[in-house]
A and B are shown apart, each in its own frame.
Chain A
């Protein structure tokens, strides 16, 4: 009877009352319905948190299969590369041409912009809008495509310094939402 009243009270009333009722209860009293489900869920969450805290990042990474690594990679999560905004790093400069690596198979080559171009040197991070991850075309009479070994992207400008470092992986993983609402990610 007391348990039933408590249960009805839990379902109708606020969360704080639920917490107080649970803290007052002893562990050996049997639970039912919502109370049992709530307890099970908190146990599961506590176990998940303790296991993730106990395991170091390196060991859990080594147990991951190739399939799961791939599924969680930025390349797959990004989807189609057309018009995706990513962050790249300039690794080579030849006068006005900037060779930018954004984490894909190939780099892209962009021309230095007229305004604010002097700030962009080797090592500076820039924002790009990807057009194609690999420039290929099938020519007449060829069996396979000819590839240019380059990606194509439009240079949007230097990276604003409001990125956050991911402490687990140590790399700069940064997801931002552009004005149009599309998700952008960088590796």
Chain B
């Protein structure tokens, strides 16, 4: 897979950074205010992303139980995003999953609450 290549012609970086620099650059450039990126900044961002992946993976694995688990699941990751302060910026993209029945119940309860409020303060 061509993605395994790291940047153009800089084979030394295969030891330094595993993520493809070209892809990292595409993501960085998708940010509108960014005009240009120094090569060192690109390498450091790629490296930081790797460190981040490791940090998120280990934090999610340890989150909650503390005992050794067999598997890392989506809900481990979502819980970490919702509960740990450092990962708060991920909260919107990693919502916790709930059963559909629970969600419908929540909707119903909310609707009932709004109806109560609409009936006016006099009745309260």
Tell whether A pairs with B: no
- State the A residues within 8 Å of B (CB): none
